[in-house]
Amino acid sequence: MPDEAKPGTPPPEAPREDPRLPLTGLRVVELGHYIAAPFATRLLADLGAEVIKVEPPGGDPHRDWGARVNGHAVWFSIHGRNKLSVTLDLRTAEGKEKLRALLARADALVENLRPGAIERMGLGPEALHAMNPRLVIARVSGYGQDGPYRDKPAFGAIGEAMGGLRHLTANPGQADLPPPRCGVSISDDLAGMYAAMALVSACWGRDRSPEGKGTVIDLDLVSSVFSLMEGMLPEYGLLGRVRQPMGAALPSAAPTNTYPCADGKWLAVAGNSDPIFRRLMTRIGREDLADDPRMAGNSGRCANAAELDEAIAAWTRTLPAKEAQDALEAVEVPCSRLFDMKDCVEDPHFQARDMLLPVEDPLIGATVPHPAAPFRFQGIAPRDMVRWPGPAVGAHNEHVFESLLKQEAKP
């Protein structure tokens, strides 16, 4: 590495800390693979935590996922960013001993191995707390650490299906095509987000209590999805109503839907408040509907939603999506085309908010555009929150094993 580190390429032997980031000083060990646990730790790393990703000698298989450049998956440039990578063979006594030494010096562990796996290594919560009572242990699994399905393999699609989300992601009466995924690994993402949130909360509570004891947190994909089911559980329990998919419409507001445009693209329109409804109807030349007493108030419009949707679609079909959006925005009707990645990159908003960060990635051998962290903090530029891209497998073995492990254990 050169002496002068360029942005995004710090020398692996001396990872940078930024004292302005909120979690600077929090040491988190990741025993994760694929998505959920590594996403949790990536968020923690963006927030400033010192995340040590423990990988088998061959690396997390996620490193091979999806499109590659220069032999490296571009997703991992993001998914592994701001982390230190060390390799350990946990089938050997030496590997387990090094992991134990690492955990003796850590604030927290995030793991998403199969339930029972760390216990079989002799590194279950009881053993870890005997060694380091401060350790916060966040465990992510498909179904949780107990219950009848505990030992079933966890797949993101199953979390979505069983948590109730996929049933809802459909057009009513959609008979020929399956309800689509929302296109990303949403159940892993949600579980990872909850793991990060619960872990930091446990650290906050620990560090203000006189005892300073760690805890064990049990996160699962199914509950993470199920937690978003709004009022549907009491609707069923008290009223016997089973929420059915509504396509792109909302169950209790109208008109709000997604409409076809002349260029084959779609426009989402939220016209469901009295003043917006009037402006929308006027713009599409349907003042008659704005004045129609049947359409007075949200409940009237909900009862006649199909008629309103047809009137709006009749207008959107005459224009390309961008023109239809411009026309409605000019009269302050909230709407948006369904952005693909090209739309995002070309939109002034993403540029102005510094959401697309150029990060030099020595593995990829190119400047890789990274999405900014989703949270921004006063006085910290989004680009300062990406300290380095996903590192090579074991890039920080020397730093961690030669220097960090020489430090005293934390407690």
The residues assigned a catalytic role are 188
Going residue by residue from 136 to 155, which x/- string records binding to its own copies, judged by CB under 8 A? -------xx-xxxx--xx-x
Residue 105 beta carbon to its own copies: minimum distance, rounded to whole angstroms: 17
Closer to its own copies by Cβ: residue 144 or 394: 144
Decide: is 15 part of the binding site for its own copies (CB under 8 A).
Answer: no
Backbone angles phi, psi at 258, to 5 degrees: -125, 130
Count Cα neighbours of 32 within 13 Å in the Cβ-side half-sphere: 33
Task: By CB under 8 A, name the one of 101, 117, 131, 161 that touches its own copies.
Answer: 161
Residues 288-307 that bind its own copies (CB under 8 A): none
**Is residue 182 a contact residue for its own copies (CB under 8 A)?**
yes
What is the residue type of 38?
P
Task: Establish if 127 lies at the interface with its own copies (CB under 8 A).
Answer: no
Touching its own copies, residues 63-122 (CB under 8 A): 65-67, 69, 73-79
Task: Using the minimum distance from each CB to its own copies, give the nearer residue, 89 or 329.
Answer: 329
CA-nearest of 42, 108, 47 to 75 is 42
Residues in contact with its own copies, counted by CB under 8 A, come to a total of 152
* Cα distances (angstroms) measured from residue 400 to each of 27, 78, 310: 12, 22, 63
Distances (CA, A) of 264 to 102, 182, 283, 349: 55, 20, 21, 24
162 touches its own copies (CB under 8 A): yes
Of residues 121, 282, 369, 399, which one binds its own copies by CB under 8 A?
A: 369
CB-wise, 101 or 327, nearer to its own copies?
A: 327
Q: Is the peptide bond before 255 cis (omega within 30 degrees of 0)?
A: yes
Rounded to the nearest whole angstrom, what is the least distance from the CB of residue 17 to its own copies in the complex? 12
Supply the minimum distance, in Å, between the C-beta of residue 202 and its own copies.
5
Of the candidates 210, 264, 406, 407, which one interacts with its own copies according to CB under 8 A?
264
**DSSP designation for 185:** -
Question: Of 37, 102, 135, 195, which one interacts with its own copies (CB under 8 A)?
Answer: 195
Q: Which residues contact 241 (CB under 8 A, 6 or more apart)?
A: 235
In angstroms, give the least distance from the CB of 141 to its own copies: 11
> Residue 222: CA atoms inside 13 Å, Cβ hemisphere, count?
15
Q: Assign 210 to helix, strand or coil.
A: coil
Contact call for residues 382 and 355 (beta carbons, < 8 A): yes
Structure tokens at 125: 């919560």
In this structure, are residues 320 and 263 in contact, taking their beta carbons and an 8 Å threshold? yes
Where b means 16+ CB within 10 Å and e means fewer, 242-259 reads: ebebeeebeeebbbbbbb
Stretch of residues binding its own copies (CB under 8 A), selected from 85-93, 194-202, 283-291, 396-404: 194-202
- The answer to whether 215 contacts its own copies (rule: CB under 8 A) is yes
Residues 36-55, one symbol each (x = binds its own copies by CB under 8 A, - = not), give -------x---xx-------
Q: Residue 411, interface with its own copies (CB under 8 A)?
A: no
Q: Which of 235, 292, 360, 384 binds its own copies (CB under 8 A)?
A: 235
Among residues 205, 212, 285, 300, the one that binds its own copies under rule CB under 8 A: 205
Interface with its own copies in residues 302-361 (CB under 8 A):
329, 332, 334-342, 344-345, 347-350, 352-353, 355-356
Q: Which stretch binds its own copies (CB under 8 A): 3-11, 81-89, 202-210, 403-411?
A: 202-210
Is the separation of the CB atoms in 383 and 85 below 8 Å? Answer: no
Task: Work out whether 34 is an interface residue with its own copies (CB under 8 A).
Answer: no
Name residue 80's amino acid: G
Cα–Cα distance, 337 to 324 (Å, whole number): 9
The answer to whether the beta carbons of residues 80 and 42 sit under 8 Å apart is yes
Strand ranges in 32-100 using DSSP code E only, listed in sequence order: 50-55, 68-69, 72-73, 83-87
Query: In angstroms, what is the minimal distance from the CB of 262 to its own copies?
Result: 13
Q: Which of 2, 183, 210, 293 binds its own copies (CB under 8 A)?
A: 183
